[in-house]
Amino acid sequence: MKNLFKDSELKYLNKHEPVSHDVLIELHGSEGRHGWPEVEVYHNKKIVYKGLVEHKHTLKIAVSKNHTRNIFKVCFTNKKPNDTVVDKQGNITHDKFVKVHSITIDNSYIDDVGKLCRVYIDEPSDYAGSSRGGNAMFFPGHLKLYYTNPPLDYIHQVYMQQGLFDTAEYKADIDLNFNRAVEILFNHSREDH
Amino acid sequence: MISNYMIDITIATLPVLEFYLPPAAPALLKGHLEKHGFTCTALDLNLQSKQVLSKERFNEFFEFTTTDKEIDQSIKTEVYTSWEKLLLADNPIWVGFSIFSGESHNTARDFLPWFKKRNPKQKVLIGGNGTSKPEFIQEVLSSVDHIIYNEGEEALVELLKGNKKYPGIDTPGKQIDDLDSIGHSNYNDYNLGEYDRFYAENVVQITGSRGCIRRCTFCNIGHLWPTFRWRTGKHIFDEIKKIHQEKNVQHFYFTDSLINGNQKTYLEMCELLADYNSTLDKKITWGGQYIVRRKKGLPEHYFEVTAKSGAYNLALGVETGSDSVRHHMQKKFDNDDFDFFMEGFSKHKITCSYLMMVGYPTETQQDFEDTLYLFKRHQRYVANGTITGCSLGTTMSILDDAPIGENHSDLYTFPTTPGLPTSTRGLQVSRHWESAVVPGLDYKERMRRRLVAQRVCESYGWSTISADRELRQLQAQSQQFQDFSTQTPQLFP
């Protein structure tokens, strides 16, 4: 491999090393009877934001390359039972809730937040299971995002494309033909020298 | 007297083509001929060759089709007899072969004489873009009755009517200006489930336009189809809706050089498809080759309506990560436009793949590294699923009917080697050039860069589309150049 690459090209190979990067969390809030939702956001054990989410709020958190394992927690703290406003027909007209609309990790925009995150809600028994997935919290609880650094390698594994071009057989075929091509290239070079 | 003939024509493709999409030409011609009252069977002999042979024997056959390598005759006989059986099964008056490009020449040169010798009374014709090379035509002329040049729909109808004087029949053809006059494709003869699963479900190809709005230096589309013409958005939509309703096919792939060449037509199609999709539980998707447009002038709803219409797996002709190389290629967009496009795709979940080209004549080491850097920079789109992969190709070819072949001979030299074939037969001469402006950029260096690009892509998680075939082809070409260079060292220095 080293013979194939020129020295100046080696830096473009992914070394899978941790990198310093930013995480952007876009929160959407909905107002209930007693005002806007309040959240506390933690990066690992450190609190990085505490406050209201009025309509929309985007957090930008710098992650050092020293943080190899990262847990982000978005806690919804101020929901009360009578925050939900219901009309005479039983329809909800206003409700306090918070939604993680999107997360951008190292410039990679993800709005399928449910694919990356888990939601843990202290929900009433008649709602059991209804809000485990997705990206919204209608009850007090928290949403958790975990990844290892470098983030893009990790996210790619979560999103992993499963198609014709990702099968083990296909990759083995590529490797075989790659190695044969390298052999042809270098066998000839050796004869030259 | 009752004729023994059962159908008017059987139209078949010859290798080499991809194995993950049913070939469009026979299906399109079948649909068009049926519109004019003729009967037609469409065959994909490319796929058939893979199905009839064991894997090892198929690999041998593949090498023959791509490099004209000498192989065991029994392999060819096994394939050819299976093809012959299929071709004659419906007892057609005519057998037509679609020669999609120069990639099918090796097979056609070998198979057509074999077939004609065994079936001397069978009327045979060939057509397709691959018939544009006079030296190829000379080699197969005695094995065919007629050649249909340029766009074949109208000429083929006339030939079946018995009018052999129509332009395009053994003479240069004329362009079809009104693409809406062509019948809708008919894929009924293909078993769509037999194709490689590039898509999770069945997919068919359709054509929305011919020609291209660009004149990229490396591409010969402008030579083959001088004028860009398009079907109306409504006409394309009607075809998609018809196939969706009749064949229950959801996924469509455009054969066009670019789907979004005419922005007005493109947006009309997208809006109709978006409305139709809003009524469906399982949405229509469509993909194909797509041009990156300058961000200036894009309507605000461009990405949103593209996404809602079902855009999926668009193949972007990115070619390089270097602005200067792309500028020389006449691609007419830069990395700034491209990044804007990719952000739009990412935000609206429009998936795409990149078509790349390694070793353009002006590609310096720094330009090449700009391409490597692109793989790193856009890993973020691989990670979130926007990029489904990229095709790295088999290194740059100089096509003599492309602008670079016609107008830029100062950029490269071909080795003047006694004994080197002048035609593409056997040795793909078009690949064997050396840059006159970038010292050291010869075939061997391009091959090295191609292999480096492979490994860099993989390291960032990019899927490399068709890399198995491309590397096999690269390997076979290199071996061939190397073998040749024992007599002519300057070929593989």
Q: Are B35 and B183 in contact (CB under 8 A)?
A: yes
Q: What is the mean pLDDT of residues B148-163?
A: 95
Q: Report pTM.
A: 0.85
pLDDT for residue A164: 56
Percent of chain B at pLDDT > 70 equals: 93
Interface contact B451-A106, CB threshold 8 A: no
Closest CA to A176 of B373, B55, B46: B55
Backbone angles phi, psi at B359, to 5 degrees: 85, 45
Interface contact B472-A152, CB threshold 8 A: no
Chain A residues with CB under 8 Å of a chain B CB are: 1, 4-6, 8-9, 12-14, 16, 106-111, 151-153, 155-156, 159, 161, 163-166, 170, 173-174, 177-178, 180-182, 184-185, 188, 192
Q: What is the mean pLDDT of residues A81-109?
A: 92
Give the least confident one: B146-155, B309-318, B425-434.
B425-434
pLDDT for residue B115: 98
First and final C-alpha spacing in chain A: 19
The model's pLDDT over B208-250, given as tens digits with 9 standing for 90+, comes to 999 999 999 999 899 888 899 999 999 999 999 999 998 889 9
Q: Are B449 and B372 in contact (CB under 8 A)?
A: no
The model's pLDDT over B467-476, given as tens digits with 9 standing for 90+, comes to 988 898 888 7
Q: Where are the domains of chain B?
A: 7-175, 197-491
pLDDT for residue B2: 47
Task: Report the complex ipTM.
Answer: 0.89
Q: Give CATH for domain B197-491.
A: 3.80.30.20
B463 to chain A: nearest residue by CA?
A165
- Residue partners of B443: CB distance under 8 A and separation at least 6: B395, B431, B432, B433, B434, B478, B481, B491, B492
The CATH number for A21-150, chosen from 2.60.60.40, 2.40.30.10, 3.30.460.10, 2.30.40.10, is: 2.60.60.40
Q: What is the mean pLDDT of residues B30-52?
A: 96
CATH architecture for residues B7-175: 3-Layer(aba) Sandwich (3.40)
Interface test mutation site (partner B, options A2, A101, A177, max chain B beta carbons within 10 A): A177
Q: What is the DSSP letter of B413?
A: E
Q: What is the mean pLDDT of residues A24-35?
A: 94
For chains A and B, CB pairs below 8 A equal 124
- In this complex, the residue of B455, B465, B493 whose CB is nearest that of residue A1 is B455
Q: Are A147 and A71 in contact (CB under 8 A)?
A: no
Interface contact A159-B384, CB threshold 8 A: yes
